[in-house]
């Protein structure tokens, strides 16, 4: 069968999509890029915000309308929280909830009567990775979360924590490296909770990957700040562990953090950031902030903005509070009005842009090894522009002459200027 895969949402969803692609290929099926030609379409949905739910439903409807003859299988958080709605209202043939998504390919074979022809299996990664121009891969190492932040619907959709074993993860990363992947990104719902059910810690996994693979770059997905130990900061000094940490702060006010049921106060967060910068001066620390959380007073907002302003984040993912039914925060008193939340979001956006430009500017004139992505179409003179990322996750672009192919390679470049957009650096090849 010809299978097309789509996803919305987090890196974990992308990691799951790549795993399913390889599993379908091993059964003899073909992964294709054009949904119109597919016999089966697999969608991995998202429900982290109301907007994510809306987009998931739109994608399902649009896919069904554009490919009416293809069978439609939907998984992910939206489908897990609303399985009957997905099947009854959106024309989905099969819903596989998060609880069963580890068996998605097996369930699809049983329920959708898919043929199995391993003799037709293609090389791993041929379509699922390389046809998409991928040079990095997301590796799912755990699922679920034992904490219950009051705003989070994902913990309800994903369930309890479940960690993959070290050997299995190491084997996957080695296989990806053999396929040409240069960077593996460890991902999970609660990445720092990896090993909680195995009697291990995330640092044990990182050490094992560094010791038992040769992949040039190992990167971490979003990591809760209360999970970092002294051993972690020692590991940060390894040049193969990329110096970028995405640590969700969510608010710079301790009072708001208490209402969120977060486990890290602002002083503790600042201390961890200091330790990371001492261990690795070039580290890029990025974060998530929720604006307009219930009960957030003007004084708390000013306190939050002041703390965020002193952290020097390289990038801020800004989220407007989204009241999700089933979470404690949805029923908290003193919901912040839309105009106030919008005004605060504008303030934070301006601060975040200013700090991002400042963070980029401090690296001007430096040389970095860059992992390059797919280039643009050639200009009239044959030149092409290639984007890429430094180890500390700065986006850069360079223009090279005819016949030069950088995609999927790691090559040195000097950062020579700021792009007009202010969110990227211009580079020249060394």
Residue 68 to residue 150: CA distance in whole angstroms: 40
Question: Of 226, 242, 258, which closes a domain?
Answer: 242
Q: Is position 377 within any domain?
A: yes
3-state secondary structure of 302: helix
- With 0-12 CB in 10 A as exposed, 13-18 as middle and 19+ as buried, what is 277? middle
Range 394-407 average pLDDT: 93
DSSP per residue over 58-75, as a string? HHHHHHHHH-TTSEEEEE
Q: Is position 126 within any domain?
A: no
Q: How confident is the model at residue 187 (pLDDT cuts 50, 70, 90)?
A: very high
Q: Is position 341 within any domain?
A: yes
Residues 149 and 233 in one domain: yes
Q: How confident is the model at residue 290 (pLDDT cuts 50, 70, 90)?
A: very high
**pTM as predicted:** 0.86
Residues 269 and 161 in one domain: no
Based on DSSP, count helices (H) and strands (E) in the chain, helices before strands.
Answer: 13, 17
Q: Is position 372 within any domain?
A: yes
Q: Taking the mean position of all CA atoms in its chain, how far away is CA 71?
A: 27
Backbone angles phi, psi at 311, to 5 degrees: -90, -20
302, pLDDT greater than 50: yes
Q: How confident is the model at residue 323 (pLDDT cuts 50, 70, 90)?
A: confident
Q: Is position 125 within any domain?
A: no
pLDDT digits (tens, 9 = 90+) for 18-67: 889 888 988 889 898 888 899 999 999 998 888 888 999 998 988 888 88
Residues 168 and 232 in one domain: yes
Query: Of the candidates 73, 138, 137, which has an alpha carbon nearest to the alpha carbon of residue 111?
Result: 73
Question: Of 242, 262, 283, which closes a domain?
Answer: 242
Residues 195 and 251 in one domain: no
Domain that holds residue 356: 244-362
Q: pLDDT over 70 for what percent of the chain?
A: 95
Residues 90 and 145 in one domain: no
pLDDT of residue 89: 63
420, pLDDT greater than 90: no
- With 0-12 CB in 10 A as exposed, 13-18 as middle and 19+ as buried, what is 226? middle
Range 352-363 average pLDDT: 95
The domain that holds 109 is classified in CATH as 3.40.50.12160
Q: Is position 309 within any domain?
A: yes
pLDDT of residue 326: 87
The domain that holds 211 is classified in CATH as 3.30.750.210
- Number of folded domains in the chain? 4
Range 78-88 average pLDDT: 86
Residues 201 and 251 in one domain: no
Residue 30 to residue 36: CA distance in whole angstroms: 14
Tokens 């708001």, residue located: 256
Q: pLDDT over 90 for what percent of the chain?
A: 67
387, pLDDT greater than 90: yes
Query: Of the candidates 46, 1, 45, 48, which has an alpha carbon nearest to the alpha carbon of residue 21?
Result: 1
Backbone angles phi, psi at 429, to 5 degrees: -70, 140
Residue 339 to residue 345: CA distance in whole angstroms: 10
Mean per-residue pLDDT of the chain:
90
Residues 196 and 269 in one domain: no
Backbone angles phi, psi at 230, to 5 degrees: -60, -40
199, pLDDT greater than 80: yes
Q: How confident is the model at residue 116 (pLDDT cuts 50, 70, 90)?
A: low
Contact 430, 414 (CB under 8 A): yes
Q: Is position 290 within any domain?
A: yes
Residues 231 and 267 in one domain: no
Which comes out higher in pLDDT, residue 85 or 306?
306
Count other C-beta atoms under 10 Å from residue 185's C-beta. 18
Report the chain's terminal Cα–Cα distance, integer Å. Answer: 46
Which comes out higher in pLDDT, residue 67 or 156?
67
Residues 74 and 168 in one domain: no
Q: Is position 171 within any domain?
A: yes
Residues 56 and 33 in one domain: yes
Question: Of 198, 226, 242, which closes a domain?
Answer: 242
Residues 181 and 248 in one domain: no
Residues 259 and 354 in one domain: yes
The domain that holds 252 is classified in CATH as 3.30.750.200
């Amino acid at each position: 069968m010809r299978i097309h895969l789509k996803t919305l949402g987090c890196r974990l969803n992308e990691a799951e999509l790549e795993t399913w692609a390889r599993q379908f290929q091993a059964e003899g099926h073909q992964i294709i890029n054009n949904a119109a030609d597919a016999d089966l379409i697999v969608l991995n949905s998202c429900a982290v915000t109301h907007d994510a739910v809306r987009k998931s439903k739109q994608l399902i409807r649009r896919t069904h309308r554009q490919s009416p003859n293809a069978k439609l299988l939907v998984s992910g958080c939206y489908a897990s929280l609303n399985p009957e709605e997905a099947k009854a209202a959106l024309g989905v043939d099969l819903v596989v909830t998060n609880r069963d998504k580890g068996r998605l390919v097996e369930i699809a074979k049983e329920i959708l009567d898919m043929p199995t022809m391993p003799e037709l299996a293609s090389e791993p990664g041929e379509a699922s990775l390389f046809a998409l121009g991928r040079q990095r891969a997301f590796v799912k190492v755990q699922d679920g979360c034992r904490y219950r932040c009051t705003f989070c619907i994902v913990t309800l959709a994903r369930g309890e924590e479940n960690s993959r074993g070290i050997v299995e993860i190491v084997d996957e990363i080695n296989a990806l490296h053999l396929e040409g992947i240069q960077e593996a990104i460890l991902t999970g719902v609660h990445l720092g909770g990896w090993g909680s059910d195995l009697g291990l810690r995330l640092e044990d996994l990182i050490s094992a990957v560094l010791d038992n693979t040769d992949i040039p770059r190992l990167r971490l997905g979003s990591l809760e700040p209360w999970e970092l130990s002294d051993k972690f900061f020692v590991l940060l000094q390894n040049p193969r562990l990329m110096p970028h940490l995405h640590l969700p702060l969510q608010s710079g006010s301790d009072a708001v953090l208490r209402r969120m049921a977060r486990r890290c106060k602002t002083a503790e967060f600042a201390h961890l950031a200091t330790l990371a910068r001492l261990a690795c001066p070039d580290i890029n620390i990025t974060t998530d902030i929720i604006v307009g959380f219930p009960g957030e007073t003007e004084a708390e907002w000013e306190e939050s903005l002041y703390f965020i302003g002193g952290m020097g984040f390289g990038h801020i993912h800004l989220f407007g509070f989204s009241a999700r039914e089933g979470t404690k925060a949805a029923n908290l008193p003193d919901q912040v009005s839309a105009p106030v939340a919008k005004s605060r979001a504008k303030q934070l956006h301006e601060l975040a842009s200013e700090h991002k430009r400042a963070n980029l500017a401090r690296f001007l004139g430096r040389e970095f090894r860059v992992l390059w992505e797919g280039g643009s179409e050639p200009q009239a003179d044959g030149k092409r522009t290639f984007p890429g990322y430094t180890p500390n996750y700065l986006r850069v672009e360079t223009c090279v002459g005819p016949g030069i192919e950088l995609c999927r390679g790691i090559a040195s470049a000097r950062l020579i200027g700021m792009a007009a957009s202010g969110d990227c650096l211009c580079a020249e090849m060394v």
